[in-house]
Amino acid sequence: MNIDLNINKEEIQKNLQNAIINSVIGDEIKKQIESTFSNTYELSNAIKKQVEACTQRLIKDLIEEHKEDLTKLLREQITDELLKKINDSAFDAFMDKMWNKLKAARSW
């Protein structure tokens, strides 16, 4: 068995140098991309915080501006819900009482 290896030392050195250069360039590009994303992320967080603060301020201003109307609306809704629950409870109690009377009358 005869293995013929044609090894060109210059070609191997050239390929090795290219690989090293590509690795260094790749690492540098990776660092630049990560830096850009990091800066973008920090900027986006800063903008997000400003938008949230502005939104909260606007909501607070709207609540202050319409405080009376909102309070009235909230009272009406609470009153309506309470009346509905009271009516439902009273109706359920009445129906239970009538059902018990009906059962008692049938058992005779």
pLDDT for 3: 63
107 secondary structure, DSSP code: T
User: Judging by beta carbons within 10 Å of its beta carbon (0-12, 13-18, 19+), is residue 2 exposed, middle or buried?
Assistant: exposed
- pLDDT tens by residue, 12-45: 788 888 888 878 788 888 888 888 888 788 888 8
Q: Domain boundaries in the chain?
A: 13-65, 66-102
Distance CA 88, CA 76 (A): 18
pLDDT digits (tens, 9 = 90+) for 53-79: 999 999 999 888 888 888 888 888 888
pLDDT at 1 over 70: no
Distance CA 55, CA 48 (A): 10
Share of the chain above pLDDT 70, in %: 93
